[in-house]
Amino acid sequence: MRHYRAVLTEGGPVHDSVLDAVGATALVRLRRIVPEGGAPVWVKTEWTNPGGSVKDRAALNMVLEAERSGALTPGATIVEGTSGNTGIGLAMVAAARGYRAVFVVPDRTTTEKVALLRAYGAEVVPTPGLVPREDPRHVQLLAARIVAETPGAWLADQYGNPANPDVHERTTGPEIWAQTGGRVTHLVAGAGTGGTISGTGRYLQRTGGVTVVAADPESSRYGGGDGSPYFVEAVGHYLHPHTETDTWPAVFDTSVPDRFERIGDGESLRTVRRLAREEGLLVGGSAGTAVAAALRVSAEAGPDALVVAVLPDSGRIYLSKYFDDGWLTTLGFLDSPGDARRVRDVVGAYRPGLFVTPSTSTVACLRTALAGAPAGTAVIPVVAARHTDATTWSAPDVIGTVAVTDLDALDPSAEVGAHAGPPPPAVGHGEDAAAARTRIGDGPAGAPVLMLVDGRATTTTTRAALDQA
């Protein structure tokens, strides 16, 4: 197979294939949200790649390198485990070059991404997203198994394939250097596989001594978080509490980032919405993480610096999440409109500091810990915890509840998690309290209801309390 290049005309480039349109994305300057007196911030518009994300670069390069090496032959099947964007890029390349494509996708992926994969003709294999690394249902393990069971299949392996960071060292980095006339002083990018920041950052550090800042979700392991779940897709590193070995992608060169900026989900998602409404840029959650970090860097660096942030994908594939007011409100990222009493008005003054028990705690330990529980504690949330000193918990971390009255009947040496009931319902702190009460439905009046602030459980209320709205 030959790979053709573009022909330039007065009207713009003319491509022999859609694949020739990958790369050479524009830089756009942010005009309205940059802090006064800060460095100018320019964004690399990677969502303008034909498949809609920065992953088009890696997808195309991985396929071309596999063809050159003979690992990928005509009529073969491309397989990958992906949260969406790499799969979409690979699906586009597969369609253009005549391959079958099969992608293992975690169930937390947006419906828009799954629909796009299928639109390109790819087969989608859903799997649970929150499982230990050693679980055979894990995205990467399941993809590897499919390859082993499929004659002629090739695993793209974005996490370990050197063609991933290589394409950014050869294209993305040089593009940014040329577009800024060598004036770029800071690169800000997220790390999912780590390919983009490793390759782009390596080139810019070598060429111009550029400071490389990794924008990372606050709980991601990359930047030093506890690895608990977060709501921004396609960036950072989640660590299941039962994973035995924390394995990072081989393509992530951790020596490249000079530092990390840890960004909470709330800051990321509110930045995403500001970009759409104040800059006219409809981008995804990881782009919000990158821009939020870039705005911090801008304020710190001052007007003589020049900051470039890589924005990986479009907001069009997140309309059902980051741009859906209902989704954001029920998770505590936004307030309901109107003047009705909100959940936090009903709950009253509170301080983060949810009393929980780790699932691995013994019944005996919990009985002892109850001495420090708030007065009147009847039901205790059970968390899949790594750090028992946390004050807030990601909603998926709360895996059940245990009633205090049940403890006396349990084996003192038993783990609490083995006797946990179902997880409690959750409401956003800014939800209309009456609407929230209706949404969670019937149940024991005094049973706990989690109150979420920016997607994390900070305290509890009850159905009975919400009935007072």
Catalytic residues: 55
What distance in Å separates the CA atoms of residue 257 and residue 234, rounded to the nearest whole number? 18
Q: Is the dihedral of CA 115, 120, 126, 127 positive or negative?
A: negative
What distance in Å separates the CA atoms of residue 412 and residue 173, rounded to the nearest whole number? 59
What tokens appear for 340 in the block? 């009705």
What distance in Å separates the CA atoms of residue 159 and residue 250, rounded to the nearest whole number? 6
Distances (CA, A) of 128 to 44, 132, 138, 407, 461: 32, 10, 7, 31, 29
Closest Cα partner for 140 from 119, 161, 122?
161
Distances (CA, A) of 433 to 51, 384, 430: 41, 28, 8
Amino acid at 400: G
The crossing angle, in degrees rounded to 10, of helices 265-278 and 285-301 is: 90
Do the Cβ atoms of 39 and 298 come closer than 8 Å? yes
